[in-house]
Each structure stands twice: as C-alpha cells, then as structure tokens.
Structure 1
Amino acid sequence: MNKIVTHNAGFHTDDVFAVATLMLLLNDEAEVIRTRDEEIIKTGDYVVDVGLIYDEEKNRFDHHQKGGASKRENGIPYASFGLVWKKFGEELCGSGDVAIDIEKNIAQGIDALDNGFNISKSLIPNVFIYNIWGVIGTYEPTWKELNNVNIDDKFLEAVDFAKRILKIEIKKTKDRLEAEEAIRERYNNSEDKRLIVLGHKDMYGRVITSNTLIDFPEPLYVVLRKDISYRNYVQAWQVVAINKSRGDFTFRKPLPENWRGLPSEELIKETGVEDVTFCHNNGLMCMAGSKEGAIKLAKLALEA
C-alpha cells in the first residue's frame, strides 16, 4: 500500500487538501502517516508539507525550504496543495480545463493564505469573510481538547471533508464549463446581442449564465428558464440584468425602476404582460410564467 507522509501536530488547509487530492487519486488505497521523523519521511511514496524538499519527480511536495517551491506567474507562492495539484490535478479531473479552473478558484487562494500572501482585504474594519480556512480550522481541537482528542484522527476527518468538497467541485466545474460553452454559442448565434434568450432545456442558472455573458460587451439581459417551479406556474422564466463585472452587484442596465418591488397585480398593469409575477427591488431580475412573457419584459426594458 502507498504511504502518504505529512507533518504531525497542527494542520492547515493546504496539507489537508493535498492529502485529500492524493487519497482521491489513489482511491483511498494509501496509508497516511503524520510525522517529522526524517527516517520515516524517506519511506513515503508521497511526502506532503514536510521534509524541506520539492521534487515533483520523487513526489516530494514541501514548500518550507529556503526559497520556497517557486511562484506562479501572478506572484502567488506554491504551498503543498498547489504543488500536488500542479502534478496530479489533470489526472484526477480527467480534464486539463477543469484542473486549471480549480487551480485558479481553489488552490491559489489556499496556497496564498498558507504562505501569508495577501490577495484580499476587508472593506469593513474587523469584518472578514468566513472561508475554507475557517471551515478546516473547526476540525482542529481547542486548547481544552488537546489532551482528550487524537489530532491525527481529526486530521483524517478534515481530509474526508476535503475529499467531498473536491469531488463536488470537480463535478460542478465540469458541468459549468459545459454550460459556459453552450451559453457562448447562444451569444454567437443571437441577432440582437443585447438580449440573449436561452432554450427550454438550458437550465444553467442565473449566476453561471450572467458570469459567462459578462465576458462580452453587448449583453444587457438574458432570458432563461428558472430551475424550479415558481409560485402557481408549472414553469417560470426570468429576465436577468447582466452585472457590470464579476463580484460587482451593479448592472449594465437595471430593470426599470417603476417595475421594482410592485405587487403582481400592479406589475401587470405597469408592463402590460399578463403573466408577470415579480420584479426584484434592486432591478436584478423579474419573473414571468412563460418564455414569451419574459421576452416581452426584456424588450420593454431595453427600450426603457
């Protein structure tokens, strides 16, 4: 059986996710050993976050040695998760595109924090986003538990959690990339590129759709089917205003202000669309019971 060696005592998100990646790759057919004993480290088939050696060919993935283990082009230094993912991510995902996406969206953030490399800051003093580091940190025993809890068992619990996260993220990323390709095709085939209309089966969701169309300059709205039944309608369609950029909660052209937050009866009178049911009070989106109704709303909004 393969041996995965990492350091003992406290653990961080990078070594947890590095070991989780290897366990998935090896179908859990590996023994995890937590130690700093150099003689035991030498026996490892994979050595993660310990040993002061980075040698991809020998499966040695530490970054604590003098000079570290290199940096990405954007300056983010590699930690153990990024090093393991760099070698094995594509093999685990079965797709280079999926592996690159997870490297960008997950591995880089984990590696940055482990190396003390700041990639974000709070806009409100002393208020911070609860992130994956906080989640993994819940598996570490508190100072009151140290004498009553086996920290190696807690590490393996955290690894099991990280394995579930990675499996979900790989599946979701594959599906999202497929959706993005289809959305781009819809954009390319649209005559009026200000308004993109998706089909009945194109249930990609508002966030994926909007984030894909942000890459193009023209789209103002997208019409898409909602992925669950809405109110009393068997199906529901939504008109979504496209964000100015990813992570920005402002829109290129918000839905008309006189629609926002109205009860459905007043909204019908205001728009003339009989199956309109809702318009968000910040101009993000509105709902109709039919595709035709949603398209009519979108065209009215374009001319407003």
Structure 2
Amino acid sequence: MSPSVLKICTHSGTFHADESLAVYMLKLLKRFSNATVVRSRKNEDWEAADIVVDVSGKYDGKKFFDHHQREFTGTFNSNYKTKLSSAGLVFKHFGKEIIAELLDIDEQKKPKDVEMLYDRVYKDFIEAVDANDNGIDKYSNQDELVGRFHDRNFSLAGVVSNLNPSWNSDPTDADFDRMFIKASTIMGEAFVEYLTYMGKSFLPAKKFVEAAFNSRKEIDESGKIVLLDRYVPWKEHIYAIEKENNVVGQILYILFPDTNGNWRITAVPVTSSSFDSRKKLPKEWRGLRDEALSKKSGIPNCVFIHAAGFTGGVESKEGAIKLAKMSL
C-alpha cells in the first residue's frame, strides 16, 4: 500500500503521553510518514486501520499494540520490570528501525551502536512514559518520601494531561483531536531531540574518550589522569571504557579545555550521578582563587578550585597537568 493511504488508529477522547508519543514515533518512519491518524473507539475503525495503538484490547506485535488487557504483563526485556504502555510497545517493535532511519545508521554495519541506543533510549526516556501510564511509582515506598516541591506539571506527562480540553467547555471530539496533535508534537519533538543528542553527540564522543584513555600514560605513568584535547561528554564513557579494559575505578582526574580558553581539572565522580569523587582535589586548595591559589599550589595562573574539591581551573594545559599530578 502507498504510505499516503496508511492509517494509524488510537482512541478518541482524553489523551495521554504514551499514545501521543507512540503515534509520533510511528510517523517518524518513512512508511508511516504520510499516514492519517484516526482517533476512535469503534471496532470498524480499528479493523480499517493498518496499525492500532493504545486501544482495541489486543496486542500481537504486528497490527495491534494495546496494553490494557488484564493478562498483559509485557516488559521491554528481561532486564526491566516496568510494564509497557503503548509507547513502550511501539518502541520495542519499531525502535531499532526508528533509530536507524532518524540517525542514518546502517544497522548491519553498526549493530552495537543501534543496540546501545535502543536500550539507552528506552531506559532514559520511554520507560518513564510506560511507568507513568501504568501508575507505577518510581520509589517502592512513597510514604517515606516527602517532596520539597510539586513537579507534576513540570513533567512531559503533566504537560500533555493539561492539554486535554476542560470538562466545562463542552468539548467535542474535534477539540480533543486538535489538542492531541499538539500533545503528540510535544512528546515527539522531545523524543527526537533526545535521540538525536544520543546518536550524534553522546555516541560519537566515546571515540574521543577512548583515544585519550589509550594515551593516558603519556600524561602520567600512573594511568590515573586522562587528558581530552577538546570537551566532549565524557563521564559515562569513562565508566564504560574502564569496565571494558578491566580497570574499574582507576581514572581519578579528567582534564579538558574550557569554553573560555582556560583548562579544567575534574575529579571523576564515584558514580555518574554522584556528587562525591573518587579522589577530591587537595583540601588546602579548596575555595582558593587566582593569586592565592597559585601561591598555595606553586603553579602559576591558577583560576580556582571549587570549595567542594571536585573541579578547578587554570589558564594552561601544563598547569592543569601539574595540578592533577600533585593531586595524586
């Protein structure tokens, strides 16, 4: 069939983040790019459609992608426990194809890249959509958690929910359909921006980090200092590269040029989300700046060392190397 006559069907009425995203993801594919979207709860519309998401009470991985059946318990794979929503179902079956097309990656030539992005994008983006739609709390014991502020309306799911027409405006199906398009665009554009970042920024950065890792002993024979000749997203790559080379926990400091022309020294965190470092910069330097820091360290043209000891700056590459070696 020509792409112009393909039909994607989802339910009418109140819409949610999951089907808003599911529909947008399908339309990212060339074969569905010109498809019409039908919002209906009528069986005849489901049967007439080429693919049906978030409605029908059926899931076959081919045409029907609903998750509301009592017996449905599907997850992305055995590594995940979160029940899939329509967004997760669509990504599970079409995610690799979406990644390959959107990022122009040949899956046959670069299967590891596609596989990494497939898992990472699910974990960092889609799984939260699945959990939200299925009423799954992020924390196992909500009673023990007291939030400092309300962030429901700050989330994508909250934004989408608020786009539904007001109950007291006597909304028509056309009103819901019009706002669904807006909701789908918001969810879809956020997804595309994240996937594009991962594929065109995060993933290519690994080769720069690997090259710096492999030449690290040219900087210091201990192998604990890595110097990047330009800034790239390095944090998560360092942990992966250490693991691949059986030197987990060895790298202590990363050096790289700052945007203002100075050089930065950063202590590697204990984990990618931790504020604690494997080895902080020396206590006697912390909180000092400029001449006071240069005098204390004996290294000229220092700029600062953060009071928490996790990062600092100096005007030259040579100075950054000296700071790192002394910090060892």
TM class by shorter chain equals: 0.7 to 0.9
RMSD: 2.2
Provide the residue aligned with 2:103 in structure 1: none
Are residues 1:214 and 2:239 paired? yes
TM-score normalized by the length of structure 1: 0.87
Aligned pair partner of 1:183 in 209, 213, 220: 209
Name the CA distance, whole Å, in 1 between partners of 2:167 and 2:276: 44
Are residues 1:171 and 2:196 paired? yes
Q: CA deviation at 1:81?
A: 0.7
Q: CA deviation at 1:99?
A: 2.2
Spell out the pairing of 1:95-134 with structure 2 (5 A cutoff): 95-120=114-139, 124-127=145-148, 130-134=154-158
Change (3 A) 1:242 1:131: farther
Q: CA deviation at 1:254?
A: 1.5
Aligned length: 290
TM-score normalized by the length of structure 2: 0.81
**Unpaired stretches in structure 2, ≥5 consecutive residues:** 101-113, 241-247
Spell out the pairing of 1:1-304 with structure 2 (5 A cutoff): 1-26=5-30, 28-57=33-62, 59-68=63-72, 70-71=74-75, 72-73=77-78, 74-94=80-100, 95-120=114-139, 124-127=145-148, 130-145=154-169, 147=171, 150-174=175-199, 175-191=201-217, 192-199=222-229, 202-204=230-232, 208-215=233-240, 216-226=248-258, 228-229=259-260, 235-302=261-328
Moved more, 13-22 or 179-188: 179-188
More helix per residue: 1 or 2? Answer: 2
The letter for the 2-side match of 1:225 is P
CA contact (8 A) 1:15 1:49 kept: yes
CA contact (8 A) 1:214 1:242 kept: no
The letter for the 2-side match of 1:125 is V
Corresponding residue SS for 2:304? strand
Identity %: 29
Change (3 A) 1:44 1:260: same
